[in-house]
């Protein structure tokens, strides 16, 4: 079994480059199924969720070739009726983007019910709602999402009841080639939605308003491949490194980041007394904290973009353990995203979770011990806690961290952390 082992209390210093954003890359990878021609995508991150999604496409008959910075995906000869093994689709959430992509191209889809991190219930009612609104019959049958539009797909007015990244992606994929105009009201506004729209527009789609409160899609008959699929930097990876520097102290310049995307994180770190600066060209963010200066308490609520990202909620909670006073971290997206808190308590943190709010009594000394990555970002929170704690922290279940972080160990080590991957015999 592999673990991340950290000897804490070393400041981070230097420069680190962020990978592309997993949650933007996933919709684009599955969008190539809708495109149906050869696409070249640049700078896919080397994380297991991306490799898994490429494996799913290969199982369906696609050709996927990684060549340096470029990945070629050709979905022209996929078999839409492929029964992808359930154990593959259940390893991630984004596999359900296949439903929108297959429905858009073949007017039918049958895809195993997806898995993903455990945050309590993760309904798909808004996905089913958008498939139906566009003319398909869609439901969950025996562990599969099944959708069928024998009479074709037709543009429609969709008003989402919940702001959902996944349902917005599926609505865009289903509507891009539907007949007529689709308007999506109350869509998710995350940068990854804009990235998906830009990619599909580069393939001949007609999508406007992504990133705003209303997305308009004029359906086109056919899409074409592109040789220029661009990725965006991973704002959550950047936020994780920003929080790590705030926790340990030191000075780190983060490259390949869009400062606007991390604005809500920057604002909270500044409130805590951390210096965060953007360079003149708006291309890097430098985070600096004097380790001898106390961090101030904060109140944070995780919300859909442009609010503070829920995917940074565990990392900021870990950081507040090192701040003076009582901090409040509320979750405004998921029912239960505090399973990692018990692991922080194991290290000596004083945290009480009341409903959807964690109350953190900061300033207690945290000491390293054996902890678990309960999910992807919960695992990142343990890395931050380990880096800033006394003694040795050993994190297991790290496959969950590898789902979304491209070489977190190597990058932290490059900044001066005493961190390594260690293989232990299985017990
Ligand atoms: C995406 O999940 C991300 N995953 C998650 O990141 C992220 O936490 C989440 O968006 C919110 O930002 C990917 O992009 C692969 P949602 P998704 O649909 O799309 C409710 C990470 O750490 N909802 O936006 O599955 C739902 O219950 C991962 O990288 C419905 O009610 O999330 C939740 O409360 C974890 N009905 C809220 O919407 C639906 O049909 C947001 O969920 C769908 C969602």
Given the residues 117, 177, 203, 321, the one annotated as active site: 117
The 8 Å CB, 24+ separation contacts for 77-86 are 78/33, 80/105, 80/106, 80/108, 80/109, 81/110, 83/110, 84/56, 84/59, 84/60, 84/111, 84/112, 85/59, 85/112, 86/112, 86/113, 86/143
pTM: 0.97
Q: What SS3 class is residue 7?
A: strand
Instruction: Report the alpha-carbon distance of residue 269 to residue 289 in Å, rounded.
Output: 10
Q: Is 129 helix (H, G, I), strand (E, B) or coil?
A: helix
pLDDT for residue 92 is more than 80: yes
Taking only the tens place, the pLDDT of each residue in 239-280 is 999 999 999 999 999 999 999 999 999 999 999 999 999 999
* 123 C-beta closer than 6 A to ligand 1: yes
In the predicted structure, residue 210 carries a pLDDT above the cut 90: yes
Encoded tokens for 273: 């007394």
Percentage above 90 pLDDT, the chain: 92
Determine the average pLDDT of the residues in 397-401: 96
State whether the beta carbon of 91 lies less than 6 angstroms from ligand 1: no
Probe residue for ligand 1, chosen from 119, 122, 138 as the CB with the greatest number of ligand atoms within 8 Å: 122
Q: 165 pLDDT exceeds 80?
A: yes
- Closest among 191, 195, 163 to 333, alpha carbons compared: 163
Q: Round the average pLDDT of the chain to a whole number and report it.
A: 96
Q: Identify whether the C-beta of residue 296 lies closer than 8 Å to the C-beta of residue 273.
A: yes
- Active site (annotated) includes residue 117: yes
Ligand 1 touching residue 334 (CB < 6 A): yes
Q: Locate 364 and state its tokens.
A: 């207690």
Ligand 1 in reach of 408 Cβ (< 6 A): no
User: Is 3 near ligand 1, meaning CB less than 6 Å away?
Assistant: no
Report residue 120's pLDDT band, with 50, 70 and 90 as the boundaries: confident
Angle (nearest 5°) at CA 177 between 77 and 34 = 30
pLDDT of residue 427: 65
Say how many C-beta atoms besides its own lie within 10 A of residue 251's C-beta.
17
The structure tokens 């297959």 sit at 102
Q: 165 CA distance to ligand 1 centroid (A)?
A: 6
| Res 117 pLDDT > 90 | no
In this predicted structure, which of 202-211, 223-232, 301-310, 393-402 has the lowest mean pLDDT?
A: 223-232
Tell me, what's the pLDDT at 95?
87
Distance between CA 123 and CA 139 in Å, rounded? 12
Name the residue at shortest CA distance from atom 44 of ligand 1: 164
Query: How many other CB atoms are found less than 10 A from the CB of residue 66?
Result: 15
**Separation of alpha carbons 3 and 139, rounded Å:** 40
- CA-to-CA separations, 395 to 7, 95, 312, 420, in angstroms, rounded: 12, 27, 19, 11
Lookup result for tokens 């015999």: 425
Contact between 390 and 351 under an 8 Å Cβ cutoff? The reply is no
* Pocket perturbation via mutation, ligand 1, pick of 162, 306, 314, 316 by most ligand atoms within 8 A of CB: 162
Pocket perturbation via mutation, ligand 1, pick of 53, 165, 190 by most ligand atoms within 8 A of CB? 165
pLDDT at 228: 84
- The pLDDT assigned to 425 comes to 82
User: What domains, with CATH codes, occur in the chain?
Assistant: 2-19+233-423 (3.65.10.10), 22-218 (3.65.10.10)
Tokens of 170: 């599926």
């Amino acid at each position: 079994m592999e673990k991340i082992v950290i000897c804490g209390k070393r400041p981070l210093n230097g420069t680190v480059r962020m990978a592309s954003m997993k949650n933007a890359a996933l919709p684009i990878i599955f969008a190539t199924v809708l495109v149906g021609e050869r696409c070249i995508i640049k700078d896919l991150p080397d994380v297991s969720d991306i490799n898994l999604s490429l494996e799913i496409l290969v199982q369906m008959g696609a050709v996927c070739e990684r060549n340096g910075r470029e990945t070629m995906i050709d979905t022209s000869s996929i078999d839409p009726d492929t029964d992808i093994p359930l154990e593959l689709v259940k390893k991630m959430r984004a596999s359900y983007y296949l439903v929108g992509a297959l429905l858009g191209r073949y007017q039918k889809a049958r895809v195993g019910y997806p898995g993903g991190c455990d945050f309590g219930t993760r309904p798909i009612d808004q996905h089913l709602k958008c498939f139906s609104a566009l003319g398909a019959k869609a439901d969950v049958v025996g562990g599969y999402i099944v959708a069928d539009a024998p009479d074709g797909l037709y543009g429609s007015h969709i008003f989402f009841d919940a702001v959902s990244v996944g349902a917005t992606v599926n609505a865009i994929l289903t509507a891009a080639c539907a007949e007529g105009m689709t308007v999506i009201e109350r869509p998710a506004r995350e940068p990854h939605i804009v990235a998906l729209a830009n990619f599909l527009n580069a393939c001949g789609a007609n999508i406007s308003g992504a990133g705003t409160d209303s997305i308009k899609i004029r359906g086109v008959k056919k899409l074409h491949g592109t040789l220029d699929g661009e990725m965006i930097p991973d704002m959550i990876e950047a936020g994780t490194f920003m929080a790590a520097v705030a926790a340990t102290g030191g000075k780190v310049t983060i490259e390949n980041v869009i400062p606007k995307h991390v604005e809500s994180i920057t604002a909270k770190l500044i409130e805590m007394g951390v210096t965060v600066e953007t360079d003149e060209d708006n291309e890097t963010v430098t985070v600096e904290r004097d380790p001898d200066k106390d961090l101030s308490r904060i109140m944070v609520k995780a919300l859909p973009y442009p609010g503070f990202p829920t995917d940074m909620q565990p990392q900021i909670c870990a950081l507040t353990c090192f701040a003076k006073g009582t901090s409040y971290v509320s979750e405004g997206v998921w029912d239960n995203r505090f399973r990692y808190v018990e692991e922080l308590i194991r290290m000596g943190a004083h945290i009480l979770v009341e409903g959807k709010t964690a109350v953190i009594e900061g300033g207690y000394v945290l000491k390293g011990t054996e902890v678990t990555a309960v999910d992807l970002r919960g695992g990142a929170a343990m890395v931050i806690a380990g880096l800033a704690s006394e003694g040795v922290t050993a994190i297991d279940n790290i496959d969950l961290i590898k789902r979304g972080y491209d070489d977190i160990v190597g990058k932290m080590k490059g900044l001066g952390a005493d961190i390594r991957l260690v293989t232990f015999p299985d017990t």
